[in-house]
Amino acid sequence: MKDLQNIKQRFGIIGNNEELNRAIDIAVQVAPTDLSVLITGESGTGKEIFPQVIHNYSARKHGQYIAVNCGAIPEGTIDSELFGHEKGSFTGATESRKGYFEVADGGTIFLDEIAELPLSTQVRLLRVLETGEFIRVGSSKVQKTNVRVIAASNVDVPRAIDNGKFREDLFYRLNTVPIKIPALRERGEDIFLLFRKFAVDFAEKYRMPAIRLDSEAKNVLLNYSWPGNVRQLKNITEQISIIEREREIIALTLRNYLPEYGGAKLPAVIKKDEDKSFSSEREILYKILFDMKSDMNDLKKLVFDLLRRGETDVTFQETNSRVIKNLFRETNGEESVSSSTEAQSVDFSPHQTRDDIQDTEEIFEESLSLADKEVEMIKKALEKYNGKRKMAANELGISERTLYRKIKEYGIES
C-alpha cells in the first residue's frame, strides 16, 4: 500500500478507486518486461500517465520516452514521422530525417489514439513489433530498432476491427497486456478528492481562496455523468474558481456549469460513441431503404386484398392493369415477365372482364451492395464540387482524410 501511495504521489494520480488501483498495479508489474501494452479508457481519464509509470519502472528508464498522438498527424506524413524518410523521397523532403522509432531506440514509444493510424501504417507497425525492423520512406535499406511500444485508444478497438478500420493481428500483438482506466463516473468519491485538489491548485495559481461545495452541490457533482471525465472536471473547477465571487458553491450554481445536467444517475444514457463515420451513416441510409422496401411490400398486399375483395370501383386502363398485375406477381414472389412474354390476365374487380395484357415493362433489380453505393455517393459528391475533396468530404459528413482513403481504396478517379 505504501508503494502504491508513493507511485500516486510521484505521478500525480489522485483517487482510491479499486479499478484505478488495479490499473496502477498492472502497470508496475508489467514495467520490467518488454511486453506490449494496450491502455483503454474514455477520453479524459488520464491514460497518458500510465505509459510514464511503465517507462520509469522499467530497465529502459534512462532511454528516450516519446509520446505520439496518432490522431494529430496527417495521413500523408505519419509514415515519415514514425519511420523517417530519405532526402528527395517526396515533395519537401530536402534532407534525410530520423523517425521516432529510430530516435527512441533503446527506449519507449507511447502511441496515443492508435485506432487513428491508417491501415498501411498499421502494417509497418506490425512488422516493427514482430521483428524490430523498419524501412524509411523512400529507402530500401532495412533498419533495426529496440523499442518498447505502449498504445492507447479511447474507442472500442474490436468494433473498429469489425468495421475494417483496424487490423486484427495488430490488435492481438498490442494487446499482450491490457490496462483499462475507469471512467470518472465509476470512481465514486474520487470525484470529491479530485475537485478539492483542483480547487486548491487554482486558488494558488490565481491567488484567491479555494472554492468549496455545500452538501447539495456535492450530490450534483456525484450524480453527473462526466462525459469528459477528469479533464472536464478540471476545466469546470477552473471556470468556477475564476468566475464565481462566492467561495461556497451551491447546487444551482454548479448546475449552470454542467452541460445537459440530468439529475440523479439512472442506468446511464451516456452518448459514448456518437460515431459519425461514413460507415455508420451508410448503415443508417440502408436501414431507411430496407424499411421503405418493407413498407412497399405492405402497400402491395393492401392493394391486392382490396382488389380481391372487390372493395374498389376503380376502372383500370391497360397501363394501370399492368402495374397492379405486377404488384400481384411481386407480392406472391413471382418474377415480372419481359416484353416478349405474354402475361395471363387477372380479374381485379367483379366488373372487370378478362383481357390478355402484354407486359412491356422490364424490372431491373437495384444493387444493394454497400460498397457500390459508397462509391456512387463519393463520385456524386466529387462531381458536385468539381473534384474538390474538402468540400466533398463536408457534403458526405466525413473527414478529408477518410475521403482520401476511400478514393484510394476504391480506385476512384477524381
Distance separating alpha carbons of residues 252 and 341, to the nearest angstrom: 77
Q: CB-side exposure of 277: number of CA atoms within 13 Å?
A: 15
| Pairing label, strands 212-213, 148-153 | unpaired
Which is nearest to 200 in space by CA: 209, 191, 192, 187? 209
Instruction: Kindly report, residue by residue over 359-402, the tens digit of the pLDDT.
Output: 444 554 555 567 788 888 888 888 888 888 888 888 888 888 88
Buried b (16+ CB within 10 A) or exposed e, 289-320: eeeeeeeeeeebeebbeebeeeeeeeebeeee
- From the CB of residue 203, how many other CB atoms can be counted at a distance below 10 Å? 15
pLDDT at 388: 83
What local confidence, expressed as pLDDT, does residue 93 receive?
85
Question: CA neighbours within 13 Å on the CB side: how many for 144?
Answer: 3
287 burial type by CB count under 10 A (0-12 exposed, 13-18 middle, 19+ buried): exposed
Could you name the CATH architecture of 2-182?
3-Layer(aba) Sandwich (3.40)
Domain 370-410 - what CATH class?
mainly alpha
User: What is the model's pLDDT at position 350?
Assistant: 45
**For the chain, domain boundaries:** 2-182, 185-255, 297-358, 370-410
What stretches in the chain show pLDDT beneath 70? 1-2, 261-287, 290, 293, 306-369, 414
Q: What is the pTM of this model?
A: 0.62
> For cell 507511447, what's the residue?
110
pLDDT for position 284: 66
At 48, the amino acid letter reads E
What pLDDT is stored for residue 393 in this prediction?
83
Chain-centroid distance, C-alpha 166: 11
CATH of 185-255, one of 1.10.3080.10, 1.10.3720.10, 1.10.8.60, 1.10.10.10: 1.10.8.60
Burial of residue 98 (CB within 10 Å: 0-12, 13-18, 19+) is middle
Quote the pLDDT of residue 317. 47
